[in-house]
Chain A
Amino acid sequence: MDRRSFIKKTALGAAGSLVAPYILPSGRLFAATGARKANHVVFCLFSGGVRNLESVLKADGNLMPNMLSGNEAISTDIQSSLSPLPPNPLSTPLQDEATLFKGFKYSLGPTGHFNGHITAITGQSTGTDLSLREHPEFPTVFELYRKHSDPKRSAMNAWWVSHSNNLYPILNYSRYPGYGPDFGANQISPRTLFAYDTANEFSNSMTLSPDHQGVADDLRGFFNGNFNPNGVEAASVWNTPEEADQIQAFIKQMMTEYRSGLHNNPWGIQGGMSGDMRNIFYAEKILQEFEPELLVVNLFDVDVAHSNFTKYCQALRNADWAVGHLWNTIQNTPGLANDTILIIAPEIGRNGTPNSIIDQNGRYALDHTTNDPLSRDIFCMVAGPSGVVDQGQVLSQTYGSSIDIVPTIADILGFKDGIPGLLPGASLTPAFL
């Protein structure tokens, strides 16, 4: 071997040993990013268990006039019990800008809220052995998006706006090898973070001058460099220092506004804003502030159906109004308008057979149990810009299930092809032109 050939082969070998660990199973050096349909996705997990009879089938009239077309009169007893809402935020129903899948399914797994949430957020069905204390087994849509987008996206681009602080915060990342908190979402439970007691607790906060903040950051870096935890490492989603500063400023701003009363009832709802409305309100604030590419927000008030059917109908109306407000905000936010696809789907349905609890109108309450087929019937709406979404289309036949939502988001944001065979579902292609 001559000297030139030796040097060339040595250099190639060295380069290969450096690059090889980064070659993907597909053989590509970097994850490919396909063509995007839009640059932003908001997934509204219309959760708490919504039965198709009261939503898209309108058995008691059109309880969701912001989302669904039609002027079907609401049943007299229900109508007389409903609290009035301000005029609809949308001049035309969202359905006019969407494809509506009326025969959508929650196909497999127990019809519990946590199971339904995990299926919707991971694209994987669950079993009865699901742990309520652990992060999901399979990667969440946030991790798939952050890891397989090219270039990789920071947590600032992925938000999980969780209605309650109960089980749901842990859906921001999975325990799947190679994914986890480094690719997780910025999870926030605004209803508990921006509340009377928490806002008051954080009314005073130490601030350091930029110089002294820099010194403190250097000191922390020194302490961390000297410390090697030999045990369990603290797992957490993390933001870059610059992004963390922006988020902290946002949280402070929200708390200041809360304390000053600006968040008491900004939408002017008679009787006050519902929990779902508040969650959507803060989701809008995040969208306006950070314009993330992926935001998932869940609702939950409709679960009152376990004990009161009429209040369930009111919760559906409230949530529908809030979704209308959300879409209106998106279309009035530069950077998001005409470049956002909104996906709406309940996590599970509710039973065809009611339980024995009767409300003020003599209506029976509704649970959601695995052996009741109606608890698997749900809907899905995909709304977005003309030229991208097949607007006004209604698919009444059985088509699609909740494991298809994650592939659909991956398809919209152009990272579907980079996911290495993890997802059993498929993109809801009929929704797109």
Chain B
Amino acid sequence: MNTSVSKYLLPLLMVVAFGCKKEIIDQYNLQPVRADNGQGEKTTLKSDEQLISIMHTDLFGSAITSNQLKVLFKAYSSFGDKNLIIDEITRKFLADPSVVLPQDTYMHSNTDKFIREMYARFFIRQPNEMEVWYLKKVIGENPDLGVEAVVYAMLTSDEYKYF
């Protein structure tokens, strides 16, 4: 490429690339949430209703009905130890036969893939190598462990409470 052309082309490209920024119109006053937050960047606590409704969507692939959310939120508000009541709600969801989870055999035969899929699904991020190593070790050491136990631990963890 001619030197004089490249001399002017590069600044022009930079102006095009960085000079214009699309204006974001917050028309619906939605809370901006990045879908791929790393765990270190999760700083926003889910509201009580968000926690319950997101858990439902994550487990069943469908939105919770307003009536069920109302009932579960009533229960949530009725007891002061929120970890305890979230534990109960999680167990209730996981006991539902319509919950959408991989088979136990899949977890034990495709452990690496299973771990990455569960991290992406529930923590909205990819696990680091240490996390993969640890979970593989635990799953490998417990051949009769079910998927529900792993998912239950993820859903009742601190990280799941945050965006």
Q: Which residues of A contact B (CB under 8 A)?
A: 155, 160, 165, 169, 172, 184-190, 192-193, 195, 197-198, 201-202, 204-208, 211-213, 215-220, 222-224, 226-234, 236-239, 244, 247-248, 251
Cross-chain contact A160 with B158 (CB below 8 angstroms):
no
Q: List 28 A–B pairs whose Cβ atoms lie within 8 Å, in order of A's numbering.
A: A165-B78, A169-B77, A169-B78, A169-B80, A189-B77, A192-B77, A193-B75, A201-B68, A202-B75, A202-B88, A202-B92, A206-B94, A206-B148, A211-B142, A212-B149, A216-B149, A219-B149, A219-B150, A223-B158, A224-B159, A227-B157, A227-B159, A229-B158, A230-B40, A230-B43, A233-B45, A238-B81, A239-B84
Cross-chain contact A229 with B42 (CB below 8 angstroms):
yes
Chain B residues bordering chain A, tally (CB within 8 A): 48
Cross-chain contact B81 with A215 (CB below 8 angstroms):
no
Measured CA separation A218–B138 after assembly (Å): 9
Cross-chain contact A226 with B131 (CB below 8 angstroms):
yes
Asked if B114 CB lies within 8 Å of chain A CBs, one says: no
Cross-chain contact A224 with B158 (CB below 8 angstroms):
yes
Measured CA separation A27–B11 after assembly (Å): 70
Residues of B within 8 A of A251 (CB): 79, 88
Cross-chain contact A201 with B84 (CB below 8 angstroms):
no
Looking at chain B's contact residues, is the secondary structure mostly helix, strand, loop, or mixed? helix
Cross-chain contact B45 with A232 (CB below 8 angstroms):
yes
Looking at B39, B74, B81, which has the most chain A CB atoms within 10 Å of its CB? Answer: B81
Q: Which residues of B contact A (CB under 8 A)?
A: 39-45, 68, 71-72, 74-75, 77-84, 87-88, 90-92, 94-96, 131, 134-135, 138, 142, 144-146, 148-150, 152-154, 156-159, 161-162
Residues of B within 8 A of A231 (CB): 42-45, 162
Q: Nearest CB to that of A192 among chain B residues?
A: B78
Cross-chain contact A201 with B95 (CB below 8 angstroms):
no
Cβ of B13 to closest chain A Cβ, rounded Å: 36
Cross-chain contact B80 with A229 (CB below 8 angstroms):
no
Measured CA separation A212–B90 after assembly (Å): 16
Beyond A188-B79, A206-B148, whether A219 also contacts B158 by CB under 8 A is no
Q: Nearest CB to that of B153 among chain A residues?
A: A219
